[in-house]
Amino acid sequence: MKPETGKLQQRLQALQHQYREELAGKISQLEKNWRQFIGQKDRQALDSLLHDAHNLTGSGALYGYHQISTIARELEQLLTDIQKSRKQPGSNKRQSIERCIRTLHLTAQNPVQPATPP
Amino acid sequence: MPQTARINHAQSSTSTTPTLQRLLYIEDEPSIQAIIKLTLEEIGQFTVHGCISGSEAIASGPDFMPDLILLDVMMPGMDGPTTLKALRQLPELASVPVIFMTAKTTSTEIAELKALGAIAVIAKPFDPMTLCDEIKNAWHLQFTK
């Protein structure tokens, strides 16, 4: 039995709406892990942060929020470098990461709407 | 139960490929998991069971008896390759075909994942409207090699 296209599109749109509603929370959680890592030198927080960035890269692209995905990918790369270096990040790297997080917040407040559901 | 007995040998009228019906997918990100579930059920008409981690898949996968496993690569704790290694230790899942899903899609990375025994690697982000076709193509290909 072929799926009902209309019903499928409705469900996809509902997921997309839910994703948009949750996007700010995802970014806030990411920032929380960043503060934890920087403040407490908590390497577990770095692992969680990297995971958050990776997931945001993937889910942002999947749901059509390509700008979010691009920024998250940049963030993911910066964090991967820190993870590999096993050191606390220098000021340049911190500023780059802070900039990414700020941009994510701003973009999430007014994301470019995907043209069609995923 | 012999491994081969679990494969659904209901034949299509035009090929000898066993029917693909039961899919186990392992994906830790809830919003991505939701799209996968919707796509597999509504477009693929598959019977699906989703797990958010490798350890959950080890615990519940054998009882589900999947025909195919869809496995995310980057997951916290047990990543995809580690999960695959653990699943292969379970008699019920030892020979179930696996497809990896990953954003890392250089030819070297794909080759490394296939060397672990995956029948295919699907790139992320995937297109929900064509995901099932990619899965079915990989499934059919392994029976026509």
Over residues A70-75, the mean pLDDT reads 96
Over residues B108-116, the mean pLDDT reads 93
Over residues B100-128, the mean pLDDT reads 92
- pLDDT-derived band at B117 (thresholds 50, 70, 90) equals very high
Nearest to B31 among A3, A48, A59 (CB): A59
On average, the pLDDT of chain B sits at: 89
Smallest Cα distance from A89 to chain B, Å = 22
Over residues B87-116, the mean pLDDT reads 93
pLDDT for residue B11: 45
- pLDDT-derived band at A42 (thresholds 50, 70, 90) equals confident
pLDDT for residue A4: 64
Angle (CA) A36 A41 A47, round 5°? 70
Percent of chain A with pLDDT over 90: 77
Tell me, yes or no, whether A115 lies in a domain: no
- Cβ–Cβ < 8 Å for B33, B49: no
This model of the complex carries an ipTM of: 0.85
Output the six-digit token pair for A99.
């900039």
Smallest Cα distance from B37 to chain A, Å = 11
Question: Is the pLDDT score of A113 beyond 70?
Answer: no
pLDDT for residue A114: 61
A110 Cβ contact list (under 8 Å, min separation 6): none
Q: How far apart are CA B128 and CA B49, in angstroms?
A: 17
Tell me, yes or no, whether A45 lies in a domain: yes
Q: Domains of chain B by range and CATH?
A: 21-144 (3.40.50.2300)
Over residues B18-30, the mean pLDDT reads 96
> Domain tally for chain A?
1
A114 Cβ contact list (under 8 Å, min separation 6): A16, A63, A64, A65
Backbone angles phi, psi at B121, to 5 degrees: -130, 125
Tell me, yes or no, whether A2 lies in a domain: no
Over residues A103-114, the mean pLDDT reads 83
- Cβ–Cβ < 8 Å for A74, A53: no
CATH of the domain at A44: 1.20.120
Tell me, yes or no, whether A98 lies in a domain: yes
Amino acid at A4: E
Tell me, yes or no, whether A117 lies in a domain: no
Q: How far apart are CA A37 and CA B73, in angstroms?
A: 24
- Cβ–Cβ < 8 Å for B95, B3: yes
The model's pTM: 0.87
Output the six-digit token pair for A10.
């409705």
- Contact across the interface for A61 and B43, Cβ inside 8 Å: no
A4 HSE (CA, 13 A, CB side): 4
Nearest CA in chain A to B103: A58
- Domain enclosing residue A75, as ranges: 7-109
